[in-house]
């Protein structure tokens, strides 16, 4: 991953805890209940506005202009007005307070069936000898409109919509049968009218049921796609070689969380095994400068994920790209924190294998410290205690701009000193504003790591660089691992002894984050720059780079 685990982007539930007094409601259930209440309130308001508009038109326009027909419409308007009163009550009840899901389902059923019953009364509004069937047709149109409105607005399963629709349809069908049986027509038998009414209502029920099935199904797919156990995925904030990272919320905990899950297409048994090892190994690390892992698991359909602390900051790649070379005091401050994280990992037999600017996140403050660096994405770590299992003798992994020579020539010999080579590359990048070696292709960059001598940071920067800090960085960049610092702890001791490096104070850090840091975080939220080929993590067969070792 290119460090984006900690960068905020814009847009795109485990067992319930029980106590003797209270049973908390999981966030997913509460969100569904609140959404249902909001939708019922919206349906009530929409229906009320439409029906009141119809009643006003029929009363003040139709009656004066159309006489008997207007009286008929006015009577229909009165019936429609009484039906809208049902939805007016629904709106007023649901727009405030907190109703249980069961109560909301009862309100939904009552208004749907009640409106169907009241609208069926329009069948009896016909005036004998005047416009026969007008009220009857209008009743069926309003009945269908009501069913479709509800299906589109209210979250409901197809089965529930079907059941409510059939119950509501019983009223207009019964009303039509009573009316036409008491007012028989020589041309059209009452049984025909009743059957026709039933078919019309059935059509409305089928349409609303299909609408519910499609809309409810889409809602459920979106909800399931964004929910992992007790974690609800909010927005995608990054992607790496093996996984995608999302900002997430926990059902009951308030701490910010980032969730990483296996990338689509990375579903082979080997990928799953490596992804699971990543979280198991990372969860063993507790250093304050290593990203903290909270939890991990698998979904019912086999997607593996883990939750870690959410870092609202900026990665070193974006820092240098936007701000240029960093002050020597700040570089020492950052490198010392990185070395502390690596020292713990190396101490328990782990190496990172993908140390680079994009995998180090700066956050304004953590645990009382300012300008805190966090090493993230141990996706390529190798457990030295399980060396034989983890290695592939014909492959190498890492990022070309920060790749130790032995990672290409002899991947089976990669150890903690390979991380220190990348550590030196990051320090060089921070001091000079440029990578140690650049090139148009992976082969060119890797070839430079194997054969070229690095230009001193001061010469690359075109300005003074503290000699002690430059010497440490260049010692990390030795081609042969032997002359490099013996360990990350050695790097810490050397950094502490760099007396010619100015201090980076808390006051300086706070001032930087209040202006430049806030601007960078806001910019990162608007757009994300994809890494170049040479700056991205790769895993390739060693034979592809054979020409660089000649």
Residues 148-205 pLDDT 10s? 888 888 888 889 999 998 998 888 888 888 877 877 776 677 788 788 888 888 988 9
Over residues 15-34, mean pLDDT: 48
- pLDDT of 430 higher than 80: yes
Is 76 within 8 Å of 58 (Cβ atoms)? Answer: yes
CA distances from residue 124 to 48, 62, 120, 133, 536 in whole angstroms, order as listed:
23, 19, 8, 10, 75
**Per-residue confidence (pLDDT) for residue 389, from 0 to 100:** 46
Over residues 12-39, mean pLDDT: 54
- Lookup: tokens for 530: 């994809």
For the segment 509-541, what is each residue's pLDDT rounded down to a tens digit? 999 999 998 888 887 766 544 444 445 554 444
Could you tell me if residue 324 is left (phi over 0), alpha (psi between -120 and 50 degrees) or otherwise beta?
left
**Distance between CA atoms of 31 and 16, rounded to whole angstroms?**
15
Of 309, 326, 360, which residue is a domain's last?
Answer: 309
**Confidence band (pLDDT; 50, 70, 90) for 298?**
confident
Query: Do 303 and 372 lie in a common domain?
Result: no
Angle at 397 between CA 392 and CA 400, to 5 degrees: 150
**Confidence band (pLDDT; 50, 70, 90) for 53?**
confident
Over residues 293-316, mean pLDDT: 82
Query: Do 258 and 348 lie in a common domain?
Result: no
**Per-residue confidence (pLDDT) for residue 343, from 0 to 100:** 96
- Give the residue carrying structure tokens 């990372």: 282
**22 belongs to a structural domain:** no
Is 442 within 8 Å of 401 (Cβ atoms)? Answer: no
Q: Which residues pair with 231 in a beta bridge?
A: 228, 250
Of 294, 309, 324, which residue is a domain's last?
Answer: 309
What are the DSSP E strand ranges found in 268-311? 293-298, 304-309
**Distance between CA atoms of 215 and 210, rounded to whole angstroms?**
9
Neighbours of 501 (CB within 10 A): 20
Is 257 within 8 Å of 294 (Cβ atoms)? Answer: yes
**Per-residue confidence (pLDDT) for residue 240, from 0 to 100:** 64
Burial of 525 (0-12, 13-18, 19+ CB in 10 A): middle
**21 belongs to a structural domain:** no
**Distance between CA atoms of 294 and 307, rounded to whole angstroms?**
5
Least Cα distance to 423 among 477, 384, 461 occurs for 477
Query: Do 99 and 194 lie in a common domain?
Result: yes
Is 268 within 8 Å of 276 (Cβ atoms)? Answer: no
Query: Do 486 and 518 lie in a common domain?
Result: yes
Identify the DSSP state of 129.
Answer: T
Query: Do 364 and 486 lie in a common domain?
Result: yes
**Per-residue confidence (pLDDT) for residue 288, from 0 to 100:** 94
- Give the residue carrying structure tokens 């905020």: 8
Least Cα distance to 539 among 372, 400, 374, 370 occurs for 400
**50 belongs to a structural domain:** yes
- Highest-scoring range by mean pLDDT, 16-20, 189-193, 337-341: 337-341
**Confidence band (pLDDT; 50, 70, 90) for 364?**
very high
51, 108, 318, 354: which is the annotated catalytic residue? Answer: 354
**Per-residue confidence (pLDDT) for residue 266, from 0 to 100:** 61
Query: Do 198 and 251 lie in a common domain?
Result: no
**Per-residue confidence (pLDDT) for residue 283, from 0 to 100:** 84
Annotated catalytic, 51? no
Query: Do 437 and 386 lie in a common domain?
Result: yes
Query: Do 205 and 272 lie in a common domain?
Result: no
Domain that holds residue 425: 314-549
What are the DSSP E strand ranges found in 240-279? 243-250, 257-262
Burial of 347 (0-12, 13-18, 19+ CB in 10 A): middle
Domain harbouring 271, CATH code: 3.30.200.20
Over residues 362-372, mean pLDDT: 91
- Lookup: tokens for 379: 């996706």
Mean pLDDT of the chain: 78
- pLDDT of 278 higher than 80: no
- Lookup: tokens for 273: 């095994």
Please name the residues in contact with 199: beta carbons below 8 A apart, sequence gap of 6 or more.
none
Query: Do 247 and 111 lie in a common domain?
Result: no
Q: Where do runs of H (alpha helix) occur along 348-383?
A: none
Least Cα distance to 39 among 197, 181, 164, 154 occurs for 154
Half-sphere exposure of 313 (CA within 13 A, CB side): 28
**Confidence band (pLDDT; 50, 70, 90) for 17?**
very low
Over residues 365-383, mean pLDDT: 81
- Give the residue carrying structure tokens 């209040």: 514
**20 belongs to a structural domain:** no
Please name the residues in contact with 459: beta carbons below 8 A apart, sequence gap of 6 or more.
none
Of 309, 331, 355, which residue is a domain's last?
Answer: 309
**Per-residue confidence (pLDDT) for residue 500, from 0 to 100:** 94
Domain harbouring 354, CATH code: 1.10.510.10
Q: How many domains does the chain have?
A: 3
**Buried b vs exposed e over 370-396: b needs ≥16 C-beta within 10 Å?**
bbbbbbbbbbbbbbeeeeeeeeeeeeb
Number of H helices, E strands in the chain: 19, 13
Neighbours of 228 (CB within 10 A): 24
**Distance between CA atoms of 124 and 117, rounded to whole angstroms?**
12
Query: Do 292 and 206 lie in a common domain?
Result: no
For the segment 234-267, what is each residue's pLDDT rounded down to a tens digit? 778 877 666 778 888 887 777 788 888 776 566 6
Range name among 9-13, 40-44, 496-500, 537-541 with the lowest pLDDT average: 9-13
**Per-residue confidence (pLDDT) for residue 120, from 0 to 100:** 78
**133 belongs to a structural domain:** yes
Output the pTM of the full model.
Answer: 0.60
**Per-residue confidence (pLDDT) for residue 316, from 0 to 100:** 95
- pLDDT of 21 higher than 80: no
Query: Do 31 and 171 lie in a common domain?
Result: yes
**Distance between CA atoms of 471 and 113, rounded to whole angstroms?**
82
Q: Where do runs of H (alpha helix) occur along 397-436?
A: 405-409, 416-432
Query: Do 206 and 240 lie in a common domain?
Result: no
- pLDDT of 18 higher than 50: no
Three-class SS of residue 254? coil
**Confidence band (pLDDT; 50, 70, 90) for 65?**
low
């Amino acid at each position: 991953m290119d460090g984006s685990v900690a960068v905020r982007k814009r847009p795109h539930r485990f067992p319930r805890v029980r106590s003797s007094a209270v049973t908390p409601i999981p966030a997913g259930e509460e969100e569904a209940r609140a959404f249902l209440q909001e939708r019922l309130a919206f349906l009530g308001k929409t229906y009320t506005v439409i029906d009141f508009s119809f009643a006003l038109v029929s009363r003040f326009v139709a009656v004066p202009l159309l006489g008997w027909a207007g009286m008929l419409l006015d009577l229909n308007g009165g019936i429609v007005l009484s039906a809208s009163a049902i939805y007016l009550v629904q709106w007023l009840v649901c727009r405030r307070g907190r109703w249980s899901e069961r109560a909301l389902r009862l309100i939904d059923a009552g208004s749907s069936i009640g409106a169907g019953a009241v609208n069926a009364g329009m069948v009896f509004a016909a005036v004998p000898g005047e416009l026969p069937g007008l009220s009857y047709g209008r009743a069926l149109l309003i009945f269908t409109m009501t069913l479709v409105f509800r299906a589109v607005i209210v979250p409901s399963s197809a089965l529930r919509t079907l059941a409510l629709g059939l119950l509501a349809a019983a009223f207009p069908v019964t009303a039509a049968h009573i009316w036409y049986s008491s007012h028989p027509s020589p041309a059209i038998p009452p049984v025909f009218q009743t059957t026709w009414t039933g078919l019309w209502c059935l059509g409305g029920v089928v349409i609303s049921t299909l609408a519910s099935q499609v809309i409810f199904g889409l809602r459920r797919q979106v909800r399931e796609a964004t929910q992992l156990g007790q974690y609800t995925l909010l927005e995608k904030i990054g992607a790496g070689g093996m996984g995608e990272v999302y900002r997430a919320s926990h059902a009951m905990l308030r701490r910010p969380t980032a969730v990483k899950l296996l990338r689509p297409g990375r579903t082979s048994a080997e990928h799953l095994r490596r992804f699971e090892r990543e979280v198991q190994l990372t969860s063993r690390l507790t250093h304050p400068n290593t990203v903290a892992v909270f939890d991990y698991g698998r979904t019912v359909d086999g997607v593996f994920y883990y939750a870690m602390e959410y870092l609202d900051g900026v990665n070193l790649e974006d820092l240098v790209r936007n701000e240029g070379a960093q002050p020597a005091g700040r570089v020492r401050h950052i490198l010392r924190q990185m070395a502390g994280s690596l020292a713990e990992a190396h101490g328990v037999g782990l190496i990172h294998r993908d140390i680079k600017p994009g995998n180090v996140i700066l956050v304004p403050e953590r645990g009382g410290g300012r300008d805190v660096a966090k090493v993230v994405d141990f996706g390529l770590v190798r457990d030295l205690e399980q060396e034989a299992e983890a290695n592939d003798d014909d492959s190498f992994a890492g990022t070309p701009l920060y790749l130790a020579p032995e990672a290409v020539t002899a991947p089976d010999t990669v150890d903690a000193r390979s991380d220190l080579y990348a550590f030196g590359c990051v320090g060089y990048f921070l001091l000079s504003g440029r990578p140690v070696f650049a090139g148009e292709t992976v082969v060119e960059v890797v070839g430079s790591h194997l054969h070229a001598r690095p230009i001193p940071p001061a010469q690359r920067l075109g300005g003074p660089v503290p000699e002690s800090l430059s010497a440490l960085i260049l010692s990390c960049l030795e081609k042969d691992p032997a002359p490099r610092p013996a360990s990350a702890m050695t790097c810490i001791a050397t950094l502490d002894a760099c007396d010619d490096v100015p201090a980076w104070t808390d006051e300086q850090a706070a001032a930087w984050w209040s202006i430049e840091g806030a601007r960078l975080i806001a910019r990162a939220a608007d757009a994300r720059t994809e890494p170049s080929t040479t700056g991205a993590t790769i895993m390739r067969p060693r034979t592809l780079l054979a020409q660089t070792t000649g």
